[in-house]
């Protein structure tokens, strides 16, 4: 774990990757570590805005609302020495800037986990996930393409500690 300004060793784990790249699978694995919790955007959005997530605009609006209320809570958890796996997509420079503000305000370290998975692999996983009914949201290939059109891989110039993850088989 990172050595942090508060001396307690908490880390904010950020996850970047396209739909069905394995973000939640990685988040669950990271959250299995001691003194670590996972906060999953999909879980909160599906509960708080059930039936209200039909378009990209709906997602953006509801995600913004969730981030507004969760931000200070996440900072407080980190300040208590508990690591947080933020299972929110860190898929644009703007979303990553919001996340940067969290670990900077908390005075803790961070890791930006980048899942670099090809579109065809993500789409195959997405179709399997949709068929299994195991995810809070189903997305079509067209919706995958729409969301992916906004995806911006992290750049070293952004100043994050990036940990790259390639495609791996999922159970």
Altogether, the residues listed in the chain come to a count of 171
Please report the pLDDT score of residue 117 as a whole number. 93
Residues of the chain with pLDDT under 70: 1-8, 133-137, 167-171
- How many Cα atoms within 13 Å fall on the side-chain side of residue 160? 28
Q: What are phi and psi of 81, to 5 degrees?
A: 90, 10
Beta-ladder partners of 84? 12, 37
Please report the pLDDT score of residue 132 as a whole number. 74
Distance CA 136, CA 66 (A): 16
CATH number at residue 67: 3.40.50.300
Query: Would you say residue 8 lies in a domain?
Result: no
Query: Would you say residue 87 lies in a domain?
Result: yes
Distance CA 42, CA 46 (A): 6
Distance CA 11, CA 78 (A): 7
Query: Would you say residue 2 lies in a domain?
Result: no
Query: Would you say residue 170 lies in a domain?
Result: no
User: pLDDT per residue over 118-144, tens digit each?
Assistant: 999 999 988 887 787 666 567 778 888
The SS3 call for residue 64 is helix
Provide the residue range defining the domain that includes 44: 16-165
Please report the pLDDT score of residue 156 as a whole number. 93
Query: Would you say residue 21 lies in a domain?
Result: yes
Please report the pLDDT score of residue 139 as a whole number. 76
pTM: 0.85
Please report the pLDDT score of residue 4 as a whole number. 40
3-state helix, strand, coil in the chain (%, to 5): 45, 15, 35
Please report the pLDDT score of residue 171 as a whole number. 36
Query: Would you say residue 1 lies in a domain?
Result: no
| Domains of the chain: total | 1
Exposure string for 46-61, b = 16+ CB within 10 A, e = fewer: beebeeebeeeeebee
Distance CA 94, CA 47 (A): 25
Query: Would you say residue 9 lies in a domain?
Result: no
Distance CA 89, CA 41 (A): 8
């Amino acid at each position: 774990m990172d050595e942090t300004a508060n001396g307690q060793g908490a880390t904010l784990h950020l996850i970047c990757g396209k739909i069905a790249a394995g973000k939640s699978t990685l988040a669950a694995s990271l959250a299995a570590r001691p003194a670590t919790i996972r906060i999953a955007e999909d879980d909160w959005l599906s509960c708080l805005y059930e039936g209200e997530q039909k378009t990209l605009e709906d997602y953006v609006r509801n995600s913004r609302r969730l981030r507004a209320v969760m931000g200070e809570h996440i900072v407080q958890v980190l300040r208590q020495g508990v690591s947080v796996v933020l299972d929110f997509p860190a898929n644009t420079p703007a979303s990553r800037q919001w996340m940067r503000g969290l670990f900077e305000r908390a005075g803790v370290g961070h890791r930006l986990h980048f899942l670099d998975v090809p579109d065809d692999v993500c789409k195959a996983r997405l179709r399997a996930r949709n068929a299994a009914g195991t995810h809070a949201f189903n997305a079509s290939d067209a919706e995958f393409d729409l969301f992916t059109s906004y995806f911006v891989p992290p750049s070293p110039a952004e100043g994050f500690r990036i940990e790259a993850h390639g495609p791996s088989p999922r159970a």
